[in-house]
Every structure is written in structure tokens, then in C-alpha cells.
Amino acid sequence: MEVKIGVQHAPREIVLESGQSAEEVEQVVAEALAGKSQLLSLVDEHGRKLLVPADRLAYVEIGEPAPRKVGFGAL
């Protein structure tokens, strides 16, 4: 699952591939925005943990990863 996170006062968004489902990511984001936790905590495919302060979240985009193209042919 590809997750893009916009952070206030940061020029670039954070992009990570997560093994969690879209529903799990949405639940974690909703809890952070509701004030149940002060940090948005996600784990990527390599087991690295990403922590973002909940009060600095600008947006979170949840989507399926685009399939990777192989080769040099024009399609």
C-alpha cells in the first residue's frame, strides 16, 4: 500500500510503501487526528517505523502502488 503524507511547513511529502491494509492505515490516521495519540505511527515494508506529530499533518493519501514498468519499450 502506498501512503503519501503531507507535513505542514515541509517542502516535500513523505512517501512510503506499507504492508498494512488501507483500512488499518485509515484507522491509525483517524486516531491521530482525533487526539487519541499525539503521533501518527506507520511501519514500511522494510520494518522501519515512521513517526509524524499529529498536529503537523496536512494530508494523508492512501492508494495502491503503481505497477512497475520493465524494459525500454514505448507503451
User: Is 37 or 74 the better-scoring residue by pLDDT?
Assistant: 37
Nearest 5°: phi and psi at 11? Answer: -75, -20
pLDDT digits (tens, 9 = 90+) for 16-71: 999 888 999 999 999 999 989 899 999 999 999 999 999 999 999 999 866 666 77
Residue 22: all three cell numbers together: 488501507
What's residue 75's pLDDT? 58
Contact (CB, 8 A) for 43 and 50: yes
Per-residue pLDDT band at 73 (split at 50, 70, 90): low
What's residue 1's pLDDT? 86
Is pLDDT at 74 greater than 90 in this prediction? Answer: no
